[in-house]
Amino acid sequence: MSDCLTLKKSNCKNCYKCIRHCPVKAIRFSGNQAHIIGNECILCGQCFVVCPQDAKQIVDETEKVKVFIQSGEKVVVSLAPSFIANYDGAGIISMREALKKMGFFDVEETAIGATIVKNEYERMLREEDRDVVISSCCHSVNLLIQKHFPSCLEYLADVMSPMQAHCIDIKRRYPDAKTVFVGPCVAKKDEADYYTGIVDAVLTFEELTKWMKEEKVELQYETDSNENSRARFFPTTGGILKTMEENSGYTYVAIDGVENCMAVLRDIEKGKIHKCFIEMSSCNGSCVGGPVIEKYHHDSNIKDYLEVAAYAGSKDFPVSQPRAVELKKHLTYIEHKLPMPSEIEIGSALRRMGKFRPSDELNCGSCGYNTCREKAVAICQGKAEISMCLPFLKDKAESFSDTVVKNTPNGLIVLNENLEVQQINEAARKIMNIRSASDVLGDQVIRILDPSVFMNVLTSGKNVKDQRVYLAEYNRYIEQTIVYDKESHLLVGIMRDVTDEEYERERKENISRQTIEVADKVVEKQMRIVQEIASLLGETAAETKIALSKLKESIADE
């Protein structure tokens, strides 16, 4: 497969929207980036349509076509019949006039090639003994069968697409011409690259419109009364069948959308369908719902159908029908390179995703895969990462946060902006003597705590940090921090039980007070003793003085 659909890695935001919409899961993720798996991709273009970051790019061949024109080549456009749905009010005449101004030699309708292909289908059903025949106009359907339903290859009509049949017809009439197909399809770029020498370049409607704007070429409104244009119905669901003459030996069925096509192919594999001609289109609504119909036109397949129906005639284009052998197309099996993992490997991947029992397999599809088992297979094949599982990540995050919350020694209480309890951990319940979290979850915080501090934080936006308060109803002292998270609209209260610290502080204060009192009493007592001693010493000194004086006088008298 050619690299006609690429990825701008810098723009991939790991949203998994592309894998959710990829019908064959041909996208792998590595390093938080999406990568297209070439040998599995069917180029339906759904990843391009749904990517919110425009990370998917279609290879633009505008410059290649400009070189053809500048080099003097006769460049003839094969214009897909879905153009009538993309360019409102413009017919083939106005398209031809506009594109000739840009240097193209001529513009013809791919519906001419569709008539050739339709004629070959009718011959095949009429002359060949076939059971089930699947139309081969849609290259994405061809790739779907070649890559994913090889057992149905025998039923795929080995006939060129209308694009190829028309370009061969153009080159028959203009041997030196370069052919350029313009349409709504990504896959046609790959078809042109693979089957070389038929289509020289492919442009999408978006690429052509951009070029026309650069050249300031405008389309004119036009009506068309060409009755010989029944094949213009081809780009609509059932459009091929509408152009065919039915063979009474067959049932004719039209299927659109890859998922619907896959369901029919499974029934064919099981042998449930016989004697059917099946028109298959990968796009819902067929080609008028193509991935590169300009995005502002992706509004109503019914409106597009009505525009095509109004433009289509009731008779076939006059064509020069080639021999059947000239329209043969070789469609072979395109092998997958990724082996199917064993049951042991799948089981191991499931366990790493946290799926230990069948009941754990939610099959939610958030990763893009329909079932957890499909996701496990993709992990084993290197196409997916375990982190793509949303329930797994959610459980992992919750488990981690729960572990932190449960094991923190501090009390934790979480309130919403209505001051209703959203979460409370065991430490907080212990502080407030709450038996179970379910007793208070969803209730107003006023049931268990004074709400004033939470109200103040909520209204002022100013957080409280390390505020020591006494919870009288619980006989507890706590040091509380209240934080308001504006993004999550939650109030978080963190409570550290400091009751023991407070009691220890009071005990120490009591000891200090008692020590001071004892010291005061000792000092007072000592002062009294000193005073008493001083008093006694004073009396003794007086008596001694008197005695000595008397002794002195006595000695003097002698």
CA distance 181 to 282: 19
CATH of domain 342-403: 1.10.15
Whether the predicted pLDDT of 508 surpasses 50: yes
Most confident of 24-38, 382-396, 536-550: 24-38
The enclosing H or E element of 372 equals helix 372-380
Which whole number is the average pLDDT over 285-290? Answer: 92
- Could you tell me how far CA 201 lies from the centroid of its own chain? 33
Write the DSSP assignment of 509-556 as a string of letters.
HHHHHHHHHHHHHHHHHHHHHHHHHHHHHHHHHHHHHHHHHHHHHHHH
* pLDDT value, residue 541: 67
Model confidence at 403: pLDDT above 80: no
Q: How far apart are CA 458 and CA 426, in angstroms?
A: 25
Give the residues across from 484 on adjacent strands: 491
Q: In angstroms, how far apart are the furthest CA atoms of the chain? A: 183
Q: What is the pLDDT of residue 321?
A: 95
- Higher local confidence (pLDDT), 499 or 396: 499
- Among the ranges given (271-280, 364-373, 432-441), the one the predictor scored with the smallest mean pLDDT: 364-373
The answer to whether 183 and 85 are in contact (CB under 8 A) is: no
Percent pLDDT > 90 in the chain is 55
Helix axis angle for 187-194 and 162-173, nearest 10°, is 50
Query: What is the pLDDT at residue 394?
Result: 64
pLDDT for position 297: 47
Any idea what the Cα angle at residue 107 is, between residues 105 and 113, rounded to 5°? 125
**Residue in 303, 354, 388, 425 with CA at minimum distance from that of residue 19:** 388
- Is the pLDDT at 418 greater than 50, yes or no? yes
Residue 144, token pair as written in the block = 């779907």
Residue with tokens 């409280």: 464
Residue 397's pLDDT band, with cuts at 50, 70 and 90, is: low
Assigned token pair, 521: 């009493």
Mean pLDDT value of segment 306-320? 92
pTM given for the model:
0.71
Q: Does domain 1-59 have CATH number 3.90.550.10?
A: no
Asked if 264 contacts 254 with a C-beta cutoff of 8 angstroms, the reply is no
Q: What is the mean pLDDT of residues 233-253?
A: 95
* 95 within 8 A of 102, measured Cβ to Cβ: no
Distance CA 135, CA 119 (A): 12
pLDDT at 300 over 50: yes
Phi, psi dihedral angles at 251 (to 5 degrees): -100, 135
Query: Quick one: 3 exposed, middle or buried, by C-beta within 10 A (0-12, 13-18, 19+)?
Result: exposed
Nearest by Cα to 318 from 122, 83, 116, 170: 116
**Beta strand 411-416 pairing with 490-497:** antiparallel
Average pLDDT, the chain: 88
Q: Is the pLDDT of residue 337 over 80?
A: no
The answer to whether residue 259 scores a pLDDT higher than 90 is: yes
Tokens encoding 171: 């080159």
Which pLDDT score, from 0 to 100, does residue 148 have? 95
Residues in the chain: 558
Q: Contact at 8 Å (CB) between 324 and 351?
A: no
Enter the tokens of residue 46. Answer: 């759904």
d(CA 24, CA 280): 16
Selection from 232, 209, 193, 202 nearest residue 310 by Cα: 232
**CB atoms closer than 10 angstroms to residue 422:** 15
Topology, domain 408-497: Beta-Lactamase (3.30.450)
Most confident of 71-80, 300-309, 491-500: 71-80
Enumerate the β-bridge partners of residue 277: 133, 252
Say how far apart CA 84 and CA 80 lie, in whole Å. 9
Higher pLDDT, 250 or 535: 250
More confident residue, 117 or 357: 117
Mean pLDDT of 31-43: 85
Cβ(307)–Cβ(85) under 8 Å?
yes
Q: Which of 48-57, 184-193, 316-325 has the lowest mean pLDDT?
A: 48-57
DSSP 17-79: HHHHH-TT--EEEETTEEEE-TTT-----HHHHH-TT--EEEPP-HHHHHHHHHTT--EEEEE
Distance CA 533, CA 308 (A): 131
The helix/strand/coil state of 390 is: helix
| Mean pLDDT across 534-552 | 69
Q: What are the residue ranges spanned by the domains of the chain?
A: 1-59, 60-327, 342-403, 408-497, 509-548
Averaged pLDDT, 77-90:
92
Task: Tell me the average pLDDT across 211-231.
Answer: 88
In this predicted structure, the answer to whether residue 86 has a pLDDT above a threshold of 60 is: yes
pLDDT at residue 207 greater than cutoff 90: yes
pLDDT tens, position by position, 181-205: 999 999 999 999 999 999 999 999 9
**Coil, helix or strand for 125?**
helix
**Percentage of residues of the chain with pLDDT beyond 70:** 91
